[in-house]
Amino acid sequence: MSTSPVLLLVDESGSRRVDPHEPHLSVTDWGVTRGDGIFESISVIAGRMPTLDARFDRLEASARALDLPLPNRSIWTDALRKAIDAHEPVDRLAVTVVMTRGVEGADDSPTAWLLARPARDFTGIRRSGVSVVTLDRGYASDAAEGSPWLLLGAKHLSYATNAAALREASRRDADDVIFTSTDGLALEGPTSSLVVRRGDLIESPAVEAGILAGTTQATAFGFFESRGYRTRFSAIAAAELVECDAIWLVSSVRQAVAVHTLDGHPMPVDDAMTADLNRWLGDEARLE
Ligand code: PLP
């Protein structure tokens, strides 16, 4: 049983555990020099992997978008199991799965690995909520369709702009970001999906707007439907966000976090509903 991160290198023949404190990556790997690769963060709750199939589906969609080989599910599932078994038991483990285009000038084989570590603790902001600023992402909401090379909606390694947006939020004394399109639609956070409530209607932006298909957002819709709410994907005008009855940012490790302030305006929050939603997101994981 390991107390340090568990690292496995993965190739087409299988996976092998290596020392996470030793170097394993070439400085000429395309993933390092260009951010040319894909990833997933898999949340493991009490040893279970919620929405694993959905994550593999998304990893495959990202691989297709970047013209990378499709990941072999049985090798990756086996590697995930090995990592979970090798790690010291913790309530929540975050496993990062990465596949890059490989090493410059070498054959075409990707570089791939899986790293299991205890998940960051988001209990605090699940209770307190977050302040958010809207930031223009600089693309129209039809950019994904017209310019597929922008890789909008793929979970690729070039997250430097997402990290820059979070630093901008911090400069503006906010905790997080909701990206908007140049034609005025609300999109997603740099590492989260957007879910809003207007009366008995729960909405999220449609993936066609060039956003990641969120697995937590899908589970959250299930929660709201079980409570009698209607759900739908729609074009949500950024200007209308302040009129919403509730806004959440959701993702697999953080789960659901309520937005209590948007661009400096206080937003209504429903602590009981946020707690219920988080219980559902956690329990779904335990039950799978
Ligand atoms: N949108 C972006 C840009 C993300 O990076 C993430 C997660 O990292 C999400 C949405 C939420 O996805 P999921 O709920 O599948 O974790």
**Is 202 within the bounds of a domain?**
yes
The predicted structure's pLDDT at residue 91: 85
Q: Is the CB of 214 under 6 A from ligand 1?
A: yes
The predicted structure's pLDDT at residue 50: 74
Reported as a pLDDT band with limits 50, 70 and 90, residue 117 is very high
Reported as a pLDDT band with limits 50, 70 and 90, residue 49 is confident
User: CA-to-CA distance for 84 and 93, rounded, in angstroms?
Assistant: 8
* For range 269-276, the mean pLDDT: 96
The predicted structure's pLDDT at residue 46: 84
Whether residues 195 and 226 share a domain: the answer is: yes
**Is 1 within the bounds of a domain?**
no
Q: Is the CB of 62 under 6 A from ligand 1?
A: no
The predicted structure's pLDDT at residue 106: 86
Residue ending a domain, among 77, 104, 119, is 119
User: CA-to-CA distance for 286 and 280, rounded, in angstroms?
Assistant: 10
pLDDT single digits (tens) 62-99: 999 999 999 999 999 999 999 999 999 898 899 999 99
> Left if phi > 0, otherwise alpha if psi is -120 to 50, otherwise beta: which for 248?
beta
Q: Is the CB of 49 under 6 A from ligand 1?
A: no
Place of tokens 């568990």: 6
pLDDT single digits (tens) 89-115: 898 899 999 999 999 988 879 999 999
Q: Is the CB of 191 under 6 A from ligand 1?
A: yes
Whether residues 61 and 148 share a domain: the answer is: no
Whether residues 105 and 152 share a domain: the answer is: no
Whether residues 227 and 255 share a domain: the answer is: yes
Whether residues 137 and 82 share a domain: the answer is: no
Reported as a pLDDT band with limits 50, 70 and 90, residue 48 is confident
Residue nearest to atom 9 of ligand 1 (CA): 192
Q: Whole-number mean pLDDT of the chain?
A: 94
Residue nearest to atom 10 of ligand 1 (CA): 192
Whether residues 139 and 230 share a domain: the answer is: yes
Whether residues 100 and 201 share a domain: the answer is: no
Whether residues 254 and 137 share a domain: the answer is: yes
Residue ending a domain, among 95, 119, 143, is 119
Q: Find the domain containing 36 and state its range.
A: 6-119
First to last CA, the chain: 24
Reported as a pLDDT band with limits 50, 70 and 90, residue 32 is very high
164 SS3 class: helix
Whether residues 222 and 102 share a domain: the answer is: no
pLDDT single digits (tens) 147-163: 999 999 999 999 999 99
Checking if the pLDDT of 45 tops 90, the result is: no
Alpha carbon of 106 to ligand 1 centroid (Å): 32
Element (H, E) at 12: none
CATH code of the domain covering residue 161 = 3.20.10.10
Are 179 and 166 in contact by the 8 Å Cβ rule? The answer is no
Are 276 and 144 in contact by the 8 Å Cβ rule? The answer is no
Residue ending a domain, among 119, 148, 172, is 119
**Is 245 within the bounds of a domain?**
yes
Checking if the pLDDT of 185 tops 90, the result is: yes
ipTM over the 0.90 cut-off = yes
How many distinct structural domains can be found in the chain? Answer: 2
Whether residues 140 and 260 share a domain: the answer is: yes
The closest-lying atom of ligand 1 relative to the alpha carbon of residue 43 is: 16
The predicted structure's pLDDT at residue 287: 53
CATH code of the domain covering residue 53 = 3.30.470.10
Helix axes 215-226, 271-287, angle to 10 degrees: 110
Share of the chain above pLDDT 70, in %: 97
Alpha carbon of 108 to ligand 1 centroid (Å): 28
Residue nearest to atom 8 of ligand 1 (CA): 191
